[in-house]
Amino acid sequence: MKNKVYDAAILGAGAAGLAAACKLSAEGLSVALIEKNHRVGRKILSTGAGKCNISNRNISADDYICSDKEKLSVIFKKIAPEEVHSFLSSKLGIMFREKEDGRLFPYSMKAETAVFAFERFLKSSKADIFLLKKAVSAKKAGDVFEIETVPVSFGNENKTDSSKKEIIRSRKLIIACGGPSYPRIGGCADGFMLAEKFGHSVLPLKPLLTSFSVKYPDLSNLDGVRVKASISAPFLTEKIEGEILFTAYGISGDAAIDLSFLAFQKNPDSVFIDMMPDKSEKEITDFFSHLKGDIAENLSCSLDRKLVNFIAGFFEHKGKISGETALKSFAGKIKKFEISGLAPMGFEYAMAKTGGVPLREIDADFMSLKQKDLFLVGETLDCAGRSGGYNLHFAFTSAISCAKAAAGP
Ligand SMILES: Cc1cc2nc3c(=O)[nH]c(=O)nc-3n(C[C@H](O)[C@H](O)[C@H](O)COP(=O)(O)OP(=O)(O)OC[C@H]3O[C@@H](n4cnc5c(N)ncnc54)[C@H](O)[C@@H]3O)c2cc1C
């Protein structure tokens, strides 16, 4: 065992690492899958709020932020979405549930079903899975990669025992260590450090698909309130529709996550929220003008009470708010509520990142142009998708493509 040389070693058993391990094992290669967490697929379990938006029917390079879109288009032509979907469904046995907008989920709408499918496939393969083992360095000696690993303490991945180093050897090496988002479930920058050792560059990492802190107004009283809303801003070509979750620090929810993608590099300071996007201001005033009594109480029969009281706080009033002018102002605020001093939250809250190893440093099969037989996949690369299954799709595309190339013709 000590002197065994695997056909391929994969660093990281996340979305890309698991898919590569399954595909390589299916091709008959001996595989070592090395993971620092105590179980495989930890981040997959948190995807889509536990539902796992596993892919999308409509994939194009335009759905990604990437410094080399031309290479990305070539990649998506080489490994079409249908091939990825067929791998997930026919090989792994994951039946999809499809949404009208093309988003794909496991039929169960549970991320653990997807992870189970990978685990089951690997159980019946000859892949060796090393858990609680962290790859700390890798180098090539002759034709063989030597990966230095250290054991990790269960429950505290930062606690390693460097006195118990172990070397794992392989002919091909796949770096699938993911990115720095959600450090509490394993997100880290190890993959970039390992890639740099082989001469790769790393474009600056920035959080993406994240919530925003908001300076004005102070939204802490709205903590926990959810609204189906739309967001508009001068730099947006169309409104973003979706749920906004107000938090003690600012805004989260689908719409905020989409804003993070569309506002990337625009650094928006302020945006407008429409809390009743399917009603015009006139429809709102017409409806409520027929009701007698306090406007805030009347509105609380249709809108979240916390939200109504929060908006009422913007009016100078003692006791009841009433009258046509007040109702018009209230409706105006509901339709166009400005929040300003927006700043994207950090990696703790981000589902993805921009930056990483540029695609120009790999070929269309994800092999490194700096080191033969080294492959870089998933979030190690500079390719970040919008919300909607695009990031897992890229992880699976890169894994399948690299495994095909690593297995040879
Ligand atoms: C909360 C959340 C929700 C998300 N929801 C979705 C969604 O619904 N749809 C979607 O498409 N995308 C979603 N994403 C993004 C998606 O999860 C990632 O893009 C995808 O997991 C990237 O795959 P990967 O294999 O590159 O990295 P990961 O899945 O992060 O896997 C990397 C693995 O490498 C391991 N590792 C790192 N360093 C080492 C080391 N030195 N030694 C050994 N092991 C190491 C890590 O522990 C980890 O298990 C979400 C992300 C988050 C955080």
CA 90-94-99 angle, to 5 degrees, is: 115
CA dihedral defined by 57, 63, 67, 72, rounded to 10 degrees? 20
pLDDT score of 184: 92
Write down the pLDDT at residue 300: 95
pLDDT at res. 267: 84
The ligand 1 site (C-beta within 6 Å) comprises 11-17, 34-37, 42-43, 46-48, 52-53, 134-135, 176-178, 181-182, 186, 188, 190, 351-352, 378-379, 389-392, 395
pLDDT of residue 2: 66
Q: How far does residue 355's CA lie from ligand 1's centre (Å)?
A: 15
Q: Are 144 and 169 contacting, i.e. CB atoms less than 8 angstroms apart?
A: yes
Atom of ligand 1 nearest to the CA of 398: 26
Give every strand in the sheet of 103-106, ordered side by side: 55-56, 103-106, 96-98
Angle (CA) 239-241-245 rounded to 5° is 125
What pLDDT digit, counting tens, does each position of 347-367 carry? Answer: 999 999 999 999 999 999 999
Does residue 213 surpass a pLDDT of 80? yes
Q: Whose CA is nearest to atom 13 of ligand 1?
A: 47
Cβ count within 10 A of residue 236: 17
Nearest ligand 1 atom to alpha carbon 136: 41
Q: Which of 278, 238, 281 is nearest to 262 (CA)?
A: 238
Beta bridge partners of 130: 34
DSSP-H helix ranges across 47-189: 69-78, 81-86, 111-123
Q: Is 392 helix (H, G, I), strand (E, B) or coil?
A: helix
Percent of the chain exceeding pLDDT 70 equals 99
- Written as one letter, the residue type at 230 is S
At 321 the pLDDT is 82
* Residue whose C-alpha is closest to residue 339's, from 251, 221, 223: 251
Question: Where are the chain's structural domains?
Answer: 5-207+352-407, 212-344
Report helix, strand or coil for 406: helix
103: CB partners within 8 A, 6+ apart: 53, 56, 388, 389
Q: Which CATH class is domain 5-207+352-407?
A: alpha beta
Ligand 1, residues 22, 39, 47: which to mutate, most atoms within 8 A of Cβ?
A: 47
pLDDT (0 to 100) of residue 322? 81
* Probe target for ligand 1 pocket from 44, 174, 205, 391, with the most ligand atoms within 8 Å of CB: 391
**Which atom in ligand 1 lies closest to the alpha carbon of residue 181?**
53
Can you give the pLDDT at residue 142?
96
Backbone angles phi, psi at 255, to 5 degrees: -65, -40
DSSP E strands, 269-329:
270-274
Residue type, 120: R
- Tell the residue nearest (CA) to atom 23 of ligand 1: 15
Q: CA-based diameter of the chain, in Å? A: 85
253 Cα: distance to centroid of ligand 1 (angstroms): 20
Q: What is the pLDDT of residues 247-264, one digit of tens each?
A: 999 999 999 999 999 998
Structure token digits, residue 328: 């018009």
Question: Tokens 């490994």 label which residue?
Answer: 79
Q: At what angle do helices 390-407 and 69-78 cross, to 10 degrees?
A: 70
Locus of tokens 């805030």: 296
Model pTM score: 0.96
DSSP 8-state class, residue 362: B
Whether the per-residue pLDDT at 157 is higher than 80: the answer is no
| Average pLDDT estimate for 23-43 | 97
**72: helix, strand or coil:** helix
How many whole angstroms from 327 Cα to the centroid of ligand 1?
Answer: 48
Contact 191, 380 (CB under 8 A): yes
Q: What is the mean pLDDT of the chain?
A: 95
